[in-house]
Amino acid sequence: MDIKVLGPGCAKCKKTEKIVRQVVDEMNIDARVEKVTDMLKISEYGVIATPAVVIDGDVKSAGNVPKKKDVILWLGK
């Protein structure tokens, strides 16, 4: 699984990354979590507002910090 957290590095972006990594660890998911800060690369996903979470190329959220339960649903086995 390929997970990208998109954002320039603001507090909300850092919180989003922390939540995603925590869920991946807790669920023991084999995933690569990457933080993308390059605004040009972020715009390639059609994302206007950050933070955003992209899982296997699919934008799951943008413009807000996702709740842990939402991330669990997205990553559900």
State the catalytic residue, choosing from 6, 13, 52, 54: 13
- Mean pLDDT in the chain? 95
Q: Active site includes 61?
A: no
Q: Which pLDDT band, with edges at 50, 70 and 90, does 12 fall under?
A: very high
The whole-number pLDDT of residue 76 equals 85
The whole-number pLDDT of residue 31 equals 95
What one-character-per-residue DSSP string does 27-77 give? TT---EEEEE--HHHHHTTT--SSSEEEETTEEEEESSPPPHHHHHHHH--
Residue 20: CB partners within 8 Å, gap ≥ 6? Answer: 3, 5, 33, 53, 66, 71
The whole-number pLDDT of residue 6 equals 98
Give the number of other Cβ atoms within 10 Å of residue 50's Cβ.
21
Q: Name which of 45, 43, 55, 44 is nearest 16 in CA terms.
A: 55
The whole-number pLDDT of residue 77 equals 59
Question: Residues 69-74: what's their mean pLDDT?
Answer: 96
Q: Active site includes 10?
A: yes
